[in-house]
Chain A
Amino acid sequence: MENLIALLIAAPLLGAAVLLVGGRRLDAVGHWIGTLLSTTSFVFGVILFADLLGRNADDRTLMQHLFTWVPVAGFQADVTFRLDQLSMTFVLLITGVGSLIHLYSVGYMEHDERRRRFFGYLNLFLAAMLLLVLADNYLLLYVGWEGVGLASYLLIGFWQHKPSAATAAKKAFIVNRVGDMGLSIAIMLMFTTFGTFAFGPVLSHATDASEGRLTAIGLMLLLAACGKSAQVPLQSWLGDAMEGPTPVSALIHAATMVTAGVYLIVRSGAVFNAAPDAQLVVTVVGAVTLLFGAIVGCAKDDIKKALAGSTMSQIGYMVLAAGLGPIGYVFAIMHLVTHGFFKAGLFLGAGSVMHGMNDEVDMRRYGGLRKYMPVTFVTFGLGYLAIIGFPGLSGFFSKDKIIEAAFAKGGTEGWILGTCALLGAAITAFYMTRVMLMTFFGEERWRNQPTRSPEAPSAEPAAEHRGEHAEPHPHESPKVMTIPMIALAIGSVFAGGFFSIGDRFLHWLEPITGHSEGDSPLSAGAVTGATMVCLVIGVGIAYLQYGRRPVPAVAPRGSLLTRAARRDLLQDDFNHVVLVRGGEHLTRSLVYVDHTLVDGVVNGTAAGFGGLSGRLRRLQNGYARSYAVSMFGGAALLVAATLLMRAV
């Protein structure tokens, strides 16, 4: 059974190779090859899952050793795969949601002449992501980590003819690079501390190392997670990453890749458990990001960017939970899975709306679409209810558990984190209701649009670029697109309940991550009640603002906070002022030092010798008699010196 693990990765890798090398002759069938191989991987995943379920809870770790990658004495890197409950969960999420999104892309990318290439990249992403979650050591994980970074870059910049997409791809790649530095430093630290970077020895001996070392490793791992999972302070790339095709946003920038940071933290749980300072930083990062993303999501008029803010915020929840230690690991992963369902569903819904609206992304030009797109409306609506945590749906179970866990951390920290999480729940309810109302309810603002005024702050370059001035004719998407949406909607509705009832998910993951209840100052019921109150407040405010009143077609100026949030809370301005300007100043001063000091010494030496030889050259005037004088003079000096020495 172990031998199947490599096939999980091999199938999509084969797909990527065939599609990218195969050339144009595969254009007609390429998308089906990609979908088929992704589904094959899913089938292998299900078989392995069934096998794991048939075993005892403490015997559910399968290892497959493929070959020794770097066989150097004292530095052994193996290509070994580890399939345990944690990686199994990810494998099913990645291949399952991945296959659905492959299917959706068949319809969504139908008119794109580079569709084959798109599926090649998607398969490449699946292979890299599976490698990331199946690796048995940090070095192999790093390979997958870089692989998903590459696939993400290729897919964000898939419409490379748009300068904005090309820039966004570069931005994502560069910001991710900062995080990757963290991961590579963490691996080096692990190697110097433990002499190895395989999961088994590192995690089981984590407590042997000094706490300072572990804190350093933990913080570097957190930096890596921040880069990949778009957490503050490396969050700035995710909003721009929405320049990629919508299925990419759904698969990579919502459901799977951006959760790799959470996987890394949960997988390295033993390190974090022994480094409380690092854990505290993780929770702070999570709490800050969940509010940051939520606030950004409130102000965006671009439907995909609003959802991107929401993704950032939801991953903030997961990171917060992962920072809580054994109280939260299980719930971080549970929220990750349910989020995978409902966020992928929401993005696919957004893609479907855009598909029917001539690729318009500005929600101020939507409205009243529920009549025209019933399937999209229902599936998007279920995803919406799931994400805001409507009782009984997925988000309710998973998010509620995280909020409980935050309070259960205990002490002042517990209260602060719990309050942040509750506040986040209220804001989530607000912005998702806003998206819902602006898109599917209200007047049909897409009819008889006035020409857009150029200074409209919500202007999306993408929409302008396509220059669609004709009135759109909203229509439901084809079946190949709606079926994945329906499947994800089913997941959004039932997954949370299925996982939570009887604590199935908890029992499944507990052997890997461990679990403790913590000591909550509030009862579970009180937390749920508070969450419900927040939910109602958020939805209510959104309804008063966007449901009762008509939505203006041009965004009002808004308060200072709104304007800041529209600019992603000035993240780019901050990066520009601090990093870009700072870097420029540093470079300029270094160039100045180089020009004056270093070049000065070099050029000064050269000029000194040049001047000296220029003067010495005068001696060579070509007159034999003057040479003779110097010869006689020299000889006379020598004789005089000799005589003098003798006399002494």
Chain B
Amino acid sequence: MNPVYYLYLAALLFTIGATGVLIRRNAIVVFMCIELMLNACNLAFVVFSRMHGNLDGQIIAFFTMVVAAAEVVVGLAIIVSLFRTRHSASVDDASLMKL
């Protein structure tokens, strides 16, 4: 099977994730879309690793997973505390950081 198809899939997943980040208001959904983008990248890394016969891409994919796990912890904590104070998980409600 041609590995290029996996790259198309990765691109598709990334696009879906990016679109979700841009158009969804719910912070949880946005968060999941970010995960989707990260995993699309992971897929691409692995595919390139396979295509070039080089293990670096697979190692970086592990790193990305570790970072993503840490990010999930911090991100969910922020979303939970945001929800506690504002009773909403909409990203548009958290728009106080402006002049």
Contact of A620 among B25, B94, B98 (CB under 8 A): B98
Q: How far is the CA of A620 from the CA of B97 in the complex (A)?
A: 8
A→B interface (CB under 8 Å): 617, 620-625, 628-629, 632
Given contacts A621-B95, A623-B92, A625-B21, 12 further A-B contacts (CB under 8 A): A620-B99, A622-B96, A622-B97, A622-B98, A623-B91, A623-B95, A624-B91, A625-B25, A625-B91, A625-B92, A628-B21, A628-B22
Q: List 11 A-B contacts (CB under 8 A).
A: A617-B99, A622-B97, A623-B91, A623-B95, A624-B92, A624-B94, A624-B95, A625-B21, A625-B23, A625-B30, A629-B22
Q: How large is the interface on B (under 10, 10 to 19, 20 to 34, 35 or more residues)?
A: 10 to 19
- Closest Cβ–Cβ distance, residue A132 to chain B (whole Å): 70
Interface residue B28 (Cβ < 8 Å from any Cβ of A): no
The 7 tightest CB contacts between A and B, nearest first, are A622-B95, A622-B98, A624-B91, A620-B98, A623-B95, A622-B97, A628-B21
Write out the residue numbers on chain B whose beta carbons fall within 8 Å of the beta carbon of A628: 21-22
Contact between A632 and B22 (Cβ–Cβ < 8 Å)?
A: yes
Write out the residue numbers on chain B whose beta carbons fall within 8 Å of the beta carbon of A629: 22
Q: How far is the CA of A401 from the CA of B86 in the complex (A)?
A: 109
Q: How far is the CA of A581 from the CA of B14 in the complex (A)?
A: 80
Write out the residue numbers on chain B whose beta carbons fall within 8 Å of the beta carbon of A617: 99
Does more than half of chain B's interface fall in helix, strand or loop, or is it mixed?
loop
Q: How far is the CA of A30 from the CA of B82 in the complex (A)?
A: 89
Contact between A625 and B22 (Cβ–Cβ < 8 Å)?
A: yes
Number of contacts between A and B (CB, 8 Å)? 29
The residue on B at minimum CB distance from A632 is B18
B→A interface (CB under 8 Å): 18, 21-23, 25, 30, 91-92, 94-99
Write out the residue numbers on chain A whose beta carbons fall within 8 Å of the beta carbon of B30: 625
Q: How far is the CA of A53 from the CA of B96 in the complex (A)?
A: 100
The residue on A at minimum CB distance from B99 is A617
Write out the residue numbers on chain B whose beta carbons fall within 8 Å of the beta carbon of A624: 91-92, 94-95
The residue on A at minimum CB distance from B92 is A623
- Closest Cβ–Cβ distance, residue B92 to chain A (whole Å): 6
Write out the residue numbers on chain B whose beta carbons fall within 8 Å of the beta carbon of A623: 91-92, 95
Q: How far is the CA of A340 from the CA of B89 in the complex (A)?
A: 104
Among A617, A624, A632, the one with the most B-chain Cβ atoms within 10 Å of its Cβ is: A624
Write out the residue numbers on chain B whose beta carbons fall within 8 Å of the beta carbon of A625: 21-23, 25, 30, 91-92
- Closest Cβ–Cβ distance, residue A516 to chain B (whole Å): 89
The residue on A at minimum CB distance from B23 is A625
Write out the residue numbers on chain B whose beta carbons fall within 8 Å of the beta carbon of A621: 95, 98
Q: How far is the CA of A628 from the CA of B19 in the complex (A)?
A: 10
Q: How far is the CA of A625 from the CA of B18 in the complex (A)?
A: 11
Q: How far is the CA of A624 from the CA of B97 in the complex (A)?
A: 9
Q: How far is the CA of A622 from the CA of B98 in the complex (A)?
A: 5
Write out the residue numbers on chain A whose beta carbons fall within 8 Å of the beta carbon of B98: 620-622
The residue on A at minimum CB distance from B21 is A628
Write out the residue numbers on chain A whose beta carbons fall within 8 Å of the beta carbon of B97: 622
- Closest Cβ–Cβ distance, residue B2 to chain A (whole Å): 22
- Closest Cβ–Cβ distance, residue B80 to chain A (whole Å): 17
- Closest Cβ–Cβ distance, residue B26 to chain A (whole Å): 11
Q: How far is the CA of A160 from the CA of B64 in the complex (A)?
A: 90
